[in-house]
Amino acid sequence: MAEMLRVNLGERSYPIRFGVDLRADVRAAVDEMAAAGRRVAVVTDERVAAAQADALRAMFGAAPVLAVEAGEGAKSMSGLGRVLDFLAASKLDRGGAVFAVGGGVIGDLGGFAAASYLRGVDFFQVPTTLLAMVDSSVGGKTGINIAAGKNLVGAFHQPRGVFVSTGLLATLPPREFAAGMAEVIKYGLLGDAALFAQLEKTPLTVTSAELPAVIHRCCAIKARIVEADERETAKEGGRALLNLGHTFGHAIENVAGYGEYLHGEAVAIGLCAAAHLSQKMGAISAADIARVERMVAAHALPVRLRAALPYAELHAAMTRDKKVRAGGLRFVVLRKLGEAATQGDLPPALVEASFREVGAG
């Protein structure tokens, strides 16, 4: 029997189901839709299609499947067009449903296609990476990248359900698992000091007995934040807290070129930059920065850029970030390890110095 957590958003509420193997649960949902005359289409990527071929057949039978290229390159205008053409070819009507089976890229791309096609059809998330399980599959943010920046085009479109099947992580490459740990560490830093302490004491691996409980814990934190501030409109705090490390991280992805760093790798460096910024503001100590960096490194994640990136380009990318308000940058900073806050109107020199601490040129 799958465990369940509910995201309470009125008529947009939905369940997150947790289990080691939820293939039968997904198939039951698909069969129920088929019995009601509803068409289903599946969006995944080439890596997942190869690694999880048996699971895809078990879950979806003969339903049409589109496997796009793996990686951030798929989150593009051309990638979106390909998915929309696929949904049309699959003859989905407004009663149809899209299943996004993959990591954060597939969830964002498939979800945005579902939000756009026929002005919105249902979609379900079946995350296959740790990053997607703990973060991107929950909350309804969907979108694609454009040349100006990451996720600058998209829509809030909540899934109708999320199936977190931890057994799918068995085929996840170690680098991808590590990338997901950046988001887990983020949750500990922004609002769960006990989780941070747990990870500090015993780094998490794909075989850790604690992994399913940690995934559930992260989803619960995000669900409560999303319930309170679904569309990130709170003047302070709220859903924006989930962006800890992301203003730095998105700039890194944009300037380095999408795919050079995995999203979680860029966020990991961003978490370290955010720690430096917090210390320069007098909120945390140099010893706290060291603890953050040790935590990040212990989970096989980078604490600095592999090669210097020009700060002028990184700054320009930050100013195009979707979190800019009234022309000003907002950052998420640490009040202490386990507590975060949003902060605007920071001295530009502090931001620059913090980025240089992690290798900006």
Give the whole-angstrom CA distance, residue 19 versus residue 54: 18
Token representation of residue 344: 């605007």
141 is catalytic: yes
Q: Which of 72, 183, 293, 357 is catalytic?
A: 183
Q: Which of 145, 151, 243, 254 is catalytic?
A: 243
260 is catalytic: no
246 is catalytic: yes
Give the whole-angstrom CA distance, residue 26 versus residue 12: 20
Give the whole-angstrom CA distance, residue 128 versus residue 293: 27
Per-position b or e across 215-224, b if 16+ CB within 10 A of its CB: bbbbbbbbbe
Q: Which of 222, 280, 299, 330 is catalytic?
A: 222
119 is catalytic: yes
Q: How far does CA 146 lie from the centroid of its chain? A: 17
Q: Which of 47, 157, 250, 280 is catalytic?
A: 250
Give the whole-angstrom CA distance, residue 302 versus residue 203: 15
Q: How far does CA 273 lie from the centroid of its chain? A: 19
Residue whose pair of structure tokens reads 């619960």 in the numeric block:
220
Residue whose pair of structure tokens reads 């999320």 in the numeric block:
162
216 is catalytic: no
Please provide residue 92's backbone torsions phi and psi, each rounded to the nearest 5 degrees.
Answer: -70, 135
Longest dimension (CA), the chain: 61
**Which residues contact residue 343 at a Cβ distance below 8 angstroms, ignoring those fewer than 6 apart?**
281, 330, 331, 332, 333
Closest Cα partner for 239 from 72, 7, 74, 75? 7
Q: Which of 232, 265, 293, 357 is catalytic?
A: 232
Q: Which of 17, 217, 239, 276 is catalytic?
A: 239
CB atoms within 10 A of CB 18: 21
Q: Which of 263, 280, 299, 330 is catalytic?
A: 263
Q: Which of 75, 246, 276, 330 is catalytic?
A: 246
Give the whole-angstrom CA distance, residue 252 versus residue 20: 34
250 is catalytic: yes
Task: Please list the active-site residues.
Answer: 119, 141, 183, 222, 232, 239, 243, 246, 250, 263
